[in-house]
A and B are shown apart, each in its own frame.
Chain A
């Protein structure tokens, strides 16, 4: 294997990595925000909110991310009649997809909390929203952290799909380097290494966070 191409093309990998990190970061943040909303909607008593959330989750889980990406990328600008920056469309597609999965994870987390917790909070005069925010969600979050971490890692890897619509992420740039250098294999090894490094660091950070959050747990 010959990696001498890196001398000339390392800039492509750096640019690609930064775009991938950018897309993933906003994908995760928006995905979590939308996921919390979807979970609360699905758990609400309002039948309209509940069915919207269920339908959304089913639809997103039941169609390929690639199809969703194409629909967003080619459909959204036409639908609203505005020109969007490519990266924005990438983030929209990724976060709308992730929100469905995060929503289900969060819903499971909320359901895992004993209902006595909510009753205790409500009996102290807390309104429902405050009880959810201060009592239920923090406990649920701790329980779902492993599943959530898994979803984040999946999201970083899946973000590589935006390369098919020409967003200059890590995967796209690795492909460009393959074309320019006529090396079919080596640039992919570099891309794989970078993806792995990102997800590995994230994975370690998450287990650190998990350990810290378990600090208050039973010492008995």
Chain B
């Protein structure tokens, strides 16, 4: 579904991604872990070209993301994204946040956009918040709404950029639950996270990144219990101790 080859990203002199090769298949839940500064968020943000790759190729459903002749907006419709800081639109109610893109971008009628939105709100258990403003919600609620907003475009893949890192600990669970349900329904997902429990339980494949490269990858069982690379061992040793 997504084919990444020799992806490079430089910020000025800083070489953040030093050649990433990966293939994400339909229905897979790929969890990207690694120390901060390893380039995992940059990698994710290159997938829908929020960051302009410096070199390499990304092909999504047969279309190059890099090729300027392809309409990136059309491709982005099929790639939902969830951010660490939620990025809900604060001047709009929850329901407006969710229906905006389906109506404006996909040109759905208000009725069908509302149907989709209420269906999603029901799934995440926040129907009663439809007419609330984001400022009236807790962090966990905001992030669940942000997931619903991305899902409202019926994407083929969902990209999660540290979705629980800005949350109070007691709210992490409710967001992870929504993500687990999504994974169980067969959604293709790429998740950058520090939640090792989630990676182990839900991930179909784990990528360990360090210094701009994929150092090790494999099924969660293998990576977590028998890491091969010394950097992976070191990292997992530190994060799994607690």
A interface residues, Cβ below 8 angstroms from B:
114, 116-117, 119-127, 130, 134-135, 138-139, 142, 216-220
Q: Provided the pairs A139-B91, A142-B91, A216-B133 are in contact, do residues A123 and B73 lie with their beta carbons within 8 angstroms?
A: no
* Sample of 4 further A-B pairs with CB below 8 A, known A120-B83, A121-B89, A218-B136: A120-B88, A124-B100, A124-B101, A217-B90
- In the complex, how many residues of chain B place their beta carbon closer than 8 angstroms to a beta carbon of chain A? 30
Spell out B's residues near A (CB within 8 Å): 48, 50, 73-74, 76-77, 79-81, 83, 85, 87-93, 100-101, 104-106, 133, 135-136, 146, 149-150, 153
Q: Which of B50, B89, B91 contacts A123 (CB 8 A)?
A: B50
With A117-B87, A125-B153, A138-B91 already in contact, the answer to whether A217 and B105 are too (CB < 8 A) is no
A124 contact set on B, CB distance < 8 A: 76-77, 80, 100-101, 105, 149-150, 153
5 shortest interchain CB distances as A-B pairs: A120-B87, A125-B77, A124-B101, A123-B81, A218-B135
**Contact, CB under 8 Å: B91 / A126:** no
B50 touches A119 (CB 8 A): yes
A216-B101 contact, Cβ under 8 Å, with A123-B48, A139-B90? no
Min CB distance, B110 to chain A, in Å?
15
Tell me if A126 and B101 are in contact (CB < 8 A): yes
The distance from the CB of A135 to the nearest CB of chain B, in whole angstroms, is 6
Q: Which residue of B lies closest to A127 (CB)?
A: B73
- A130 CA / B73 CA spacing, docked (Å): 11
A-chain residues with CB within 8 Å of residue B150 when the two chains form the complex: 123-124
A139 nearest CB across to chain B (Å): 5
